[in-house]
Structure 1
Amino acid sequence: MRVLIVEDEPNLRNQLQATLEGAGYAVDTASDGEEGHYLGSTEAYDAIILDLGLPEIDGLTVLDRWRKEGRTMPVLVLTARDSWSDKVAGLDAGADDYVAKPFQSEELIARLRALIRRASGNASAELIAGDIRLDTRSGKVTKAGEPVKLTAQEYKLLSYLLHHKGKVVSRTELIEHIYDQDFDRDSNTIEVFVTRIRKKLGADVITTIRGLGYSLDEPSEASV
């Protein structure tokens, strides 16, 4: 999953980036509202963490512009402002959730996971397909109850497909959502990771749809 952090305070921005990357997210950052608006308008994100007190363009204006542009990604507002009026203004501008500084990293990550799950139509913290389970809280993957060790990139790819179970996901979409902005998008690593996941979880866990991309379905629904 790919996340954008728009925060002008360098230490907090770097701390958030390290925390989210440690939790398995691909992370881009912006230090002001102008850069944040541009990235949120031109790149594909599964969620955005947005500070309200930003230089150049304030966070509420950035959020309002995204929504008017039809951008529907979940936005978690992060700010030192904690009055009820600021919370109402953020939610009315199109925020999906609100966390006031100071905050606990565990709470922020839990809220972020919940936003991403809901945006993809998943209510549970566990993503399930047949005997494969991925726990978004612990990052553990099991097959028939047995733990399966995946690399960070294999986990990101499997997680994205499970979040969008039953849908055909193109190679381009996978690249946009599991890698940060600087990744070489001409790379063939998606195919490599799919092959590795199939070896670990079963040859039929991911279906290749020729010319379109990949699909992960319940075993009874999958076709070769």
Structure 2
Amino acid sequence: MEKREFKDRVYQGITQLTKALANSHRVEIVELLAQGEKTVEHIAAETGVSVANASQHLQVLKGVQLLATRRQGNHIFYRLANDTVFAAWQSLRTLGLLQLAEVAQLVHDFRDERHTLERLSIEELVERQLNEPVVLLDVRPAEEYRLGHIPQALSMPLTELAEHARALPTGQLVVAYCRGPFCVFADEAVTYLRGLGYPAVCLSEGYPDWKQRGLPVAILN
């Protein structure tokens, strides 16, 4: 094989990955599956597409080996093939915020509207937990919490926040986290909690980012 043919074939092969990710629904699916395995029906509901369309997107991602599956009864569960898949999305997300001014502005404007600009990094959260009491809330759906969460976090899905928020201890910083920086659950939770008078902030990243750093995680069997 000649050098030019070798390079062309390698680069063409790698571009199959970028083609698979060149769709807004498919990158959202990658972020969803970073929370844990899900069925096509669940993914369709979360992304707002039909089951048929969700299935097509999943097959594209699986076709380039970004996803793996397992069958349980009549259901097929999809998951990320490995941690490198999330790391690739994480890098793409960071690049988008750095290089695309319109994306960074959208995120800024959304948070500014909800007065949720105050955020803690993962490193700041770890330091705070060592030095003071912190109420950590996982506001993702309960099933995602069960599949993996930050240790000591309370499961308080956004849909249940109004019912349980007033039971939270007062006088302590409340930190809410969700799926990642583009997930709105934590922003909405913090907006609501501040309305009740709680000193609440968002975690700047999500559970998958915490896990990606090699920090301890908790799983409910």
Q: Do they fold alike, i.e. is TM over 0.5?
A: no
Which TM-score applies when normalising by structure 2? 0.30
Which TM-score applies when normalising by structure 1? 0.29
Higher helix share: 2
